[in-house]
Chains A and B, each alone.
Chain A
Amino acid sequence: MTTGQAQTDTELVTLTIDGREVQARKGELLIKVAQENGVYIPRFCWHERMEPVGMCRMCLVQVDGMRGFPPACTTPVAEGMVAHTDTEPVKKIQDGVLEFLLINHPLDCPVCDRGGECPLQDQTLAFGPGESRFTEEKRHFEKPIPLSGLVLLDRERCIQCGRCTRFAEEIAGDPLIDFGERSDRMQVVTFPDEPFSSYFSGNTVQICPVGALLSKPYRFKARPWDLSTSETTCTTCAVGCRGALQSSSNRLLRLLGVDLDAVNQGWLCDKGRYGYEWVHADERVLEPSVRVRNAMVDVSWPEALEAVANELQRAIELHGPSSVAVLGGARGSNEDAYAWVRLAKGVIGTDNVDAQLGDGLPADAVLGLPRAEIDDLDQAAAIVLLGPDLKEELPVLYLRVKQAAVSKKVPLLDLAPVDVGLTPYATAVSRTVPGEEGVAAERLVAAIGGRASGDAGIDAFAAAATGRSGPVVVVLGRGSVAQSAAPTMRAAAAFAALPNVRFLSALRRGNVHGALDLGLAPGFLPGRVTLDAGRGWFAPIWQTVPKERGLDAEGILRAAADGKVRVLVLLGADPVADFPDTDLARRAIDGAGYVVAVDAFLSESTRRADAFLPCTVWGEKAGTTTNLEGRVQRLGRKVSPEGTTMDDWRIAGELAVRLGNDFDLEFVDEVTDEIATVAPAHAGARSQLLRRSRDGVVLPVREHLHEIMVRTGDLNIMAEDGPAVSWDPIRVDAAEPSEEGDAAHEVDEARGEAERLEREAPAHHEWDRAANVGDAPGRDAYALRLVSGRELYDGGRITTCSPSLAPLRKDSALMVHPQDLARIGVEEGTQVRVTSSRATVTLPVRTHPSVPAGTARLPFTADGRGASELIDTTTMVTDLRVETIS
């Protein structure tokens, strides 16, 4: 459960706190047991998700039979313990500690961003002396100094609790801040010339008990009493972290991490935390427009919809349904995805639909692989990482894997093509030639089966995993978008032979799993059923169902480039930037007959659109989203959209009406409910159930109903009376559904619905291991094999349109092994000519020992310096020639 705390076991003990007898698990900390039983012991340094250190002395209590005043945050409960938290001596100590802390505290609360929700203010009011006797001059430091591009430090206000430094080291694994100097000069410092550039730095601001650490983007933007809050789910990546989204005057101003035990445990990454800024970017397109004689003209919604519907109608009539293709949909909500699938497959009748842009895994695998939940990591027998750098692409999943490997001591095998964020925590590392992942997987299967694999790392890992119970969790993804998914699928097929193996698909985009689950992929229909299996079920519900399996993103782009796509709908997709092969994407956009953009921004791809339908984005719309473990959670609508933007699902509905099919869906909840009645995997996930269930619902619903916890309160951010708690884990109180409560009724209803669909609807798709596999050709001795993955702050809109994140982008350079650099015969940092079968570009080259010899790493960015110009999707891998420019 909680990070690394003193081991608790299930044995119950009885103790007395302030005269009241309570029961608790043996070994649990007194401060936590007291809080769970309604006794709040003041604290500063203790955080439930970190190791207790007993540094601040605020939580001192009296325990009968123990000498002195032990800190409640380091004292485990024991049978028969008698603790007092409100005796005169304890109160005197609390007064003293607070008075001492305030000696050097500037008390500039009116200009402090923490003022109004400050634990020091609140606890001083509740437990402090009331008057200060201190009249001397306080210490002075220069007011806030930047620790990084996102975090400011006001040293005068720091109370040296060590929460931030411990977080950086213990949780984030980026020990970039520490204490420097002594006594009243003691301060949090960064190392010389090295900013606190952790991807998780924003968390330190949230847990700092004073206003010492400040968010630069939020600085002076509002005071806590201005903010209104909605619970929501981050959709910046597919982890689906829980958050509390706050706004004032219709501007999003802050996202706080909410502690969802199963997912993010209170933490957020900085991209998710500060990425709300793009919602209000000036570049947002807010009015619909259509192309008239080569110029975009603003029109009314009815005109725009009419124009698009007419184009669709014409394409269907003249060239058949499959002349229409839909790309994207992985950034919206489940409701958006469903409505667009229903429009594309159920009204138009095309199956040329793909939510991924050639940079993920085949839908057949994602939807059929035996699935793991994120929580399985902690109890796993072993974890295998074959995929991208989680720290860059799915940051909070990186924290969870790291926690499993470090705190829970689960053996971790790193099979990524180059060193990744998790490499330092791996039990064993094995680097294979990119494209030959299948070989490594087979070795692992052999080693786990007790045979020597011929790879020392893999053997060592197998030895560490032997005898452990629990599933083997494989985090599976594309380690490099410069090679096709086939080698990864070959590896997955081999992994399937591992005992009790489960997969976490490391796909990146926010709701890509929701989109795939709901059929935004060729060959699938909503609810994880294949087109063939589901045709009979959906035909009577929808107007039509596609006759045959359609094309995936690559196929669609090729067809478009050949002029075979009459109408191409880009659902928030920018293939020119995101499809690995930029050249093909460009030709496809140019070759498509009519391009419809349903988007919030102009991009390389949507700039060429013939119709632009501006949609609402995260923070502006309600609905649900599905994370990488299949957990469906609700989105919070916190601000009203500007302009005349429309929800994507509504746009689909409006187009359907104009094509003669009325979805009859008025409210977003009705879409959620329709999904819950027609999509087999979602059967029962009604809006009412999702609203009541604290942790969302994991699909397929029927198998996870027993996990449902019913929320019994609201988000615990500002306590009604008593201290503000946003600096402690923010939670929602919940209980198991009770026998007679109405929640039990909802759960029963969900079960009924799920059982009905299980009887009547088609069975879920099962993974065909032989599908989509392949091996890369050998590499010749002079070539470097390209490995390309995303960086957290990439060229995507969330980064480029968020003023706080945009400056954090790094320059990209070709990274090679020192040995290879010597062979090329140039100095570090020189510009070199890089040639692939697709293009020749000029790039600076640098060395990094983390890149194996024979491999070259280049981040995937969309600004021309990245890998997308070089990658050739017609070949399985991309090999490069690197030459000096002479």
Chain B
Amino acid sequence: MGRFSGFLVTARQMFKPRLTTEYPEQVREYPARRHGRHVLNRYEDGMEKCIGCELCAGICPARCIYVRGADNPPDDPVSPGERYGFVYEINYLRCIHCDLCVEACPTEAITETKLFEFSWNNRNDSIYTKDQLLVDDDGHPRKQPWEAWAPGQDENLSEWVRATSPSGMAEYEGRVSWSGDLGHGVRDPGPTQAELDGREEID
């Protein structure tokens, strides 16, 4: 074989089906749990879910969230309760899309879309402000000029399922602990760890 052995690999591959997709003309189907840019959700009545508690900012390993809370104006409250997110910013030059913020949030205010195709010409644009992150009146993300949304990337925004479940029990994995809001849908959680292990489900 000698000097031709190197071509063998090529020859073998030539007749296999091609896996390369012609990105960006063709877009692959994304895994259901893809982590993209965030949205701040609202309740059906339009109130914001974020209470400005800064738990997301506290957990974020990239330190890219900046939140400040303020007293809800009593006659025109922004969120239910005493406090609302007065300033909310995420710096996407730093975010690693780990979704720890999503897990930390006590009100399911912050979740992620599947959008990952966004780029800017200046760094200020990389810092998304509350106005940009907040979903619009139908519960859909407000699309920014520099974002390339593929179909379906803005659906099922509440589909995140906690990895760290109540009491940290793996059995809870896969359970929906989220409420669907504003019509963007909740994903079927899939099998739980117990089901995967073929065990009886808990309680």
Chain A contacts to B: CB under 8 angstroms? 108, 110-111, 115-116, 130-131, 143-144, 219-223, 225-226
Chain B: which residue is nearest A110 at the CB level? B53
- A143 & B82 in contact (Cβ 8 Å cutoff): yes
New A-B pairs, 7, CB < 8 Å, besides A111-B81, A219-B71? A110-B106, A110-B107, A115-B53, A131-B167, A220-B69, A220-B83, A223-B58
Partner of B51, one of A111, A219, A221: A111
Distance between Cα atoms of A430 and B88 in the complex (Å)? 62
- B54 & A226 in contact (Cβ 8 Å cutoff): yes
- B70 & A220 in contact (Cβ 8 Å cutoff): yes
Distance between Cα atoms of A223 and B65 in the complex (Å)? 14
Across chains A and B, which 6 residue pairs bring their CB atoms closest together, nearest first?
Answer: A110-B53, A111-B83, A220-B69, A223-B54, A110-B106, A225-B58
Complex interface: chain B residues within 8 A of A108 (CB): 81
Distance between Cα atoms of A137 and B122 in the complex (Å)? 51
- A111 & B58 in contact (Cβ 8 Å cutoff): no
Query: Chain B: interface residue count, which band?
Result: 10 to 19
Chain B: which residue is nearest A225 at the CB level? B58
CB distance from A125 to the nearest CB of B (A): 13
B55 touches A (CB below 8 Å):
yes
Distance between Cα atoms of A762 and B169 in the complex (Å)? 75
Partner of B58, one of A116, A131, A219, A220: A116
- B71 & A223 in contact (Cβ 8 Å cutoff): no
B139 touches A (CB below 8 Å):
no
B52 touches A (CB below 8 Å):
yes
- B69 & A111 in contact (Cβ 8 Å cutoff): yes
CB distance from B166 to the nearest CB of A (A): 9
Chain B: which residue is nearest A130 at the CB level? B167
Distance between Cα atoms of A116 and B53 in the complex (Å)? 11
Partner of A111, one of B53, B57, B68: B53
Chain B: which residue is nearest A111 at the CB level? B83
Complex interface: chain B residues within 8 A of A115 (CB): 53
Partner of A223, one of B53, B106, B167: B53
Complex interface: chain B residues within 8 A of A225 (CB): 54, 58
7 residue pairs from A and B, CB less than 8 Å apart: A108-B81, A116-B58, A220-B52, A220-B71, A220-B83, A223-B53, A225-B58
Complex interface: chain A residues within 8 A of B82 (CB): 111, 143-144
CB distance from B107 to the nearest CB of A (A): 8
CB distance from B40 to the nearest CB of A (A): 15
Distance between Cα atoms of A130 and B169 in the complex (Å)? 13
Distance between Cα atoms of A130 and B71 in the complex (Å)? 31
Chain B: which residue is nearest A143 at the CB level? B82
Complex interface: chain B residues within 8 A of A111 (CB): 51-53, 69, 81-83
- Name B152-191 residues within 8 Å CB distance of A: 167
Complex interface: chain B residues within 8 A of A110 (CB): 51, 53, 55, 106-107
CB distance from A124 to the nearest CB of B (A): 14
Distance between Cα atoms of A220 and B83 in the complex (Å)? 8
Complex interface: chain A residues within 8 A of B70 (CB): 220
Chain A: which residue is nearest B166 at the CB level? A131
Complex interface: chain A residues within 8 A of B57 (CB): 226
Complex interface: chain B residues within 8 A of A144 (CB): 82
Distance between Cα atoms of A467 and B106 in the complex (Å)? 66
CB distance from B108 to the nearest CB of A (A): 12
Chain A: which residue is nearest B51 at the CB level? A111
Complex interface: chain B residues within 8 A of A226 (CB): 54, 57
Complex interface: chain A residues within 8 A of B53 (CB): 110-111, 115, 223
Chain B: which residue is nearest A220 at the CB level? B69
CB distance from A123 to the nearest CB of B (A): 19
Distance between Cα atoms of A82 and B75 in the complex (Å)? 60
Chain A: which residue is nearest B83 at the CB level? A111
Most A-side CB within 10 Å, residue of B69, B107, B167 = B69
- Name B22-71 residues within 8 Å CB distance of A: 51-55, 57-58, 68-71
Complex interface: chain B residues within 8 A of A116 (CB): 58
CB distance from A461 to the nearest CB of B (A): 52
Distance between Cα atoms of A110 and B51 in the complex (Å)? 8
Most B-side CB within 10 Å, residue of A111, A219, A225 = A111
Complex interface: chain B residues within 8 A of A223 (CB): 53-54, 58
CB distance from A117 to the nearest CB of B (A): 12
CB distance from A253 to the nearest CB of B (A): 11
